[in-house]
Amino acid sequence: MDPKLLVTIILFGPLIGAAAAGLFGRRLGDNLSRGITTGFLFLSAILSWVVFSKWTWGGLEPFTITYAPFIHVGDFVSNWSFRLDALSAVMLVVVTTVSSLVHLYSWGYMADDPSKPRFFAYLSLFTFAMLSLISAADFMQLFFGWEGVGLASYLLIGFWFHKPTANAASIKAFVVNRVGDFGFALGIMTVFWAFGTIEFAKLFPLIKDAVGQGWDFAGGRFNLVDLACALLFVGAMGKSAQFFLHTWLPDAMEGPTPVSALIHAATMVTAGVYMVCLLSPMFEYAPVAKHIVVVIGAVTALFAATVGLTQNDIKRVIAYSTCSQLGYMFMAAGVGAYQAGMFHLFTHAFFKALLFLGAGSVIHGMAHEQDMRRYGGLWKYMKITALVMIAGTIAITGLGIPGLEIGFAGFYSKDSIIHAGFTLGEAGDPLGYFAWVIGVFVAGLTAFYSWRVAFFTFNGHARWTSEDLEHHWHNRDHAHGDDHGHAAAHDDAHQEPDHGGHEHKPHESPWTMLVPLVVLSIGAIFSGWFFEGQFIGHEQHEFWRGAIFNAPTNHILEHHEAPLLVTLAPLIATLLGLGYAAWMYLVKEGLGARLAAKGGPLYTFFYNKWFFDELYQATFVRAAKVLGDLFWKGGDQKVIDGFGPDGVSALSVKVGKGAGRLQSGYVYHYAFVMLLGVAGLLTYALVAWSA
């Protein structure tokens, strides 16, 4: 089949499914709506793997399809297009594979939800927007997809819109992302102003000649390429939840668990990483912007890992691990190892989606309880879920044996990023050593909090009772943060069936939820080993074919011998984190709870997420409220309305009341007024004649 036809079907299939379920869901019914959307997603996923295999082993060459004009105003030209290269081929596989499995998983997880057509329509709409983003041939379509996934994210986070927390989380995600998107839009404007085009194929060859050009502003001179890249990276910070613009991601867990896996683990949050790698021809000539990327990525990785140590909501722990892993990806791009960043994006999609969906399986089996302090001893009730989550835990911790090159997916991709940081340091940039130290330290923290989730959930004694589970099944107000937050009118739909007085116990999930978990676990185990050669190994040049640009001075991914201790450092840190978690939650069970009860400044600092929410509330939110009240009450009500419509109407009322007092109804009053008028006219005539 013609590859151009294949990618067209891949792109528009999810849109057709979204339109069918969204517009005709009530007529089609639940089963047909989710069947259509899921069918189109699996079709797109299968075709994406066909395209990816043809790209990798079949010699498929890059191409661009132009479907229709988008915006043509003077020199500003943008078309609806599909750009296929190595980057978009990788992202096609990531997006459609995870999305199709999430669709199937949602058949079981959302089985009792009364709004299934709307949910599946939103999922497919998100997928279409993400595909538009990754296939863009210019900044305008990239921005369209960028805003499209933002809209779909807002709809999915607030899917249970009757819950105040879900509404607040969706608005928070929308507002924080608008801050990043403002910088992104300024970056696009800067590119067009400086180069006269937003089309990637025309833009990238112009970058090298622009090196050294500057922009004079406010008494300073700014490097043009650095300025454009820094502004574009602000957009990536918002979309990928990097430090300062990260606060929306943990709250986004208010959406259903499949949403967390699809949007906030494997696809949308990686859009920023994808954009930086796509713009490697620009970032390679923007040294200051690259340093910013390294610092923000490293600080994000450290921040999120420390916060993840103390959280008790199973989904929030995994959400903060997403922030941390995204930090790794940006570190890779900042040091110039774009290929390693994309490799980690690829492997991360499998094990992070696996962990999120595995957490959803636990939540489902525990009557929608999300607090890990009420778990424990679930291994014997949920063996398949436990096994796949352990596989995901090994993958995210990057456990493997250097030298023998044996390990799960995260070992190959994360170790390559850490090693790239050390290589940059050896090349003379001390920021590389900073990235290496942070990378190794965060690897230890990642191992600790990841195994903490596994041990806390599946091992130890049960910290729940059958009465607790029964309470959750029948508690209509969802006091413990029920992930399914349906309206009270629909609570009967997801109560556990009456088992004739039998005790309520944790239970394994249905096959529609387990099959995606098993498939994702295969990717979490083998994707790193299988694709290492294509992404960062001996076949990388044939695989990438110019989709990622490395300047002639960039030798980061070339094979460099490092000291044995440097090579083993990530493994040592990972084993230390694993050992400490095992000692605290298995050998000395209960020690973690006792330490948490004592509190302490460091624990309090981490538990409260470095107090960023409080800081933003005290500064930006309150300042915005004060400023809004000033403009509203002072400017709008008192000045504009006071002197405008309200003032005019008030004056009219006063004049009318005054004039009304003259209308007494007595004839002699009117005669007296007429007499005054005649006297006035006569006086005027006499004065005029005398002159």
- The pLDDT tens digits for 80-100 are 999 999 999 999 999 999 999
* Residue 601 structure tokens: 């400044």
Closest CA to 355 of 457, 216, 234: 457
Closest CA to 424 of 538, 573, 282, 297: 297
Helix ranges (DSSP H) in 59-218: 86-109, 116-134, 139-157, 164-195, 200-207
Mean predicted confidence (pLDDT) in 225-229 = 95
Assign 3-class secondary structure to 312-361.
CEHHHHHHHHHHHHHHHHHHHHHHCCHHHHHHHHHHHHHHHHHHHHHHHH
- The pLDDT tens digits for 100-152 are 999 999 999 998 888 999 999 999 999 999 999 999 999 999 999 999 999 99
What does the mean pLDDT of the chain come to?
A: 89
Mean predicted confidence (pLDDT) in 445-466 = 92
Sequence letter at residue 298: A
In this structure, are strands 400-401 and 220-223 parallel, antiparallel, or unpaired?
Answer: unpaired
Query: Looking at the predicted structure, is the pLDDT value of residue 391 above 70?
Result: yes
Indicate the DSSP class of residue 496. P
Are 291 and 223 in contact by the 8 Å Cβ rule? The answer is no
Confidence class for position 479, pLDDT limits 50, 70, 90: very low
> Residue 551 and residue 87: Cα distance in Å, rounded?
18
Query: Looking at the predicted structure, is the pLDDT value of residue 78 above 70?
Result: yes
Q: Cα torsion for 41, 46, 47, 52, to the nearest 10°? A: 120
Query: Looking at the predicted structure, is the pLDDT value of residue 498 above 50?
Result: no
- The pLDDT tens digits for 500-528 are 445 678 889 999 999 999 999 999 999 99
Confidence class for position 237, pLDDT limits 50, 70, 90: very high
Residues in the chain: 691
> Residue 368 and residue 473: Cα distance in Å, rounded?
8
CA distances from residue 300 to 297, 329, 569 in whole angstroms, order as listed: 5, 11, 21
Query: Looking at the predicted structure, is the pLDDT value of residue 494 above 80?
Result: no
Three-state SS at 82: strand
Interior/surface letters 641-654, b for 16+ CB within 10 angstroms, e for the rest: eeeeeeeeeeeeee
Most confident of 213-217, 605-609, 615-619: 605-609
Is the CA virtual torsion 99, 252, 241, 436 positive or negative?
A: negative
CA distances from residue 255 to 251, 316, 535 in whole angstroms, order as listed: 9, 12, 33
Q: Which long-range contacts link 103-107 to residues 24+ away (Cβ below 8 Å)? A: 103/34, 103/37, 103/38, 103/41, 103/42, 104/38, 104/42, 104/512, 104/515, 104/516, 105/258, 105/261, 105/357, 105/360, 105/512, 105/513, 105/516, 105/517, 106/34, 106/256, 106/258, 107/34, 107/38, 107/512
Please identify which residue in the block is written with the tokens 């912007």: 289
Which comes out higher in pLDDT, residue 588 or 670?
588
Indicate the DSSP class of residue 367. T
- The pLDDT tens digits for 302-357 are 999 999 999 999 999 999 999 999 999 999 999 999 999 999 999 999 999 999 99
> Residue 108 and residue 587: Cα distance in Å, rounded?
36
Please identify which residue in the block is written with the tokens 């195994």: 451
- Give the angle subtended at the CA of 84 by the CAs of 520 and 55, to the nearest 5°: 65
For residue 371, what are the β-bridge partners? 313
Mean predicted confidence (pLDDT) in 165-177 = 91
Question: What is the predicted pLDDT for the residue at 265?
Answer: 62
Which comes out higher in pLDDT, residue 621 or 153?
153
Please identify which residue in the block is written with the tokens 């995210």: 396
Mean predicted confidence (pLDDT) in 245-262 = 87
Contacts of 277 (CB under 8 A, 6+ apart): 87, 333, 338, 341, 342, 548
CA atoms within 13 A on the CB side of 402: 20
Are 340 and 417 in contact by the 8 Å Cβ rule? The answer is yes
Please identify which residue in the block is written with the tokens 């809004």: 628
> Residue 676 and residue 232: Cα distance in Å, rounded?
78
Confidence class for position 266, pLDDT limits 50, 70, 90: low
Mean predicted confidence (pLDDT) in 32-60 = 95
* Residue 324 structure tokens: 């941390």
In this structure, are strands 63-73 and 76-84 parallel, antiparallel, or unpaired?
Answer: antiparallel
Are 84 and 63 in contact by the 8 Å Cβ rule? The answer is yes
Q: Which long-range contacts link 398-402 to residues 24+ away (Cβ below 8 Å)? A: 398/443, 398/446, 398/570, 398/574, 399/447, 399/571, 399/574, 399/578, 400/571, 401/571, 402/567, 402/568, 402/570, 402/571
Query: Looking at the predicted structure, is the pLDDT value of residue 24 above 90?
Result: yes
- The pLDDT tens digits for 620-658 are 888 888 888 888 777 777 788 777 787 788 888 888 887
> Residue 225 and residue 285: Cα distance in Å, rounded?
7
Question: What is the predicted pLDDT for the residue at 128?
Answer: 97
Element (H, E) at 15: helix 3-28
Task: Please provide residue 326's backbone torsions phi and psi, each rounded to the nearest 5 degrees.
Answer: -65, -35
Confidence class for position 382, pLDDT limits 50, 70, 90: very high
What percent of the chain is predicted at pLDDT more than 70? 95
pTM assigned to the model: 0.89
> Residue 73 and residue 67: Cα distance in Å, rounded?
18
Distance from the Cα of residue 501 to its chain's centroid? 44
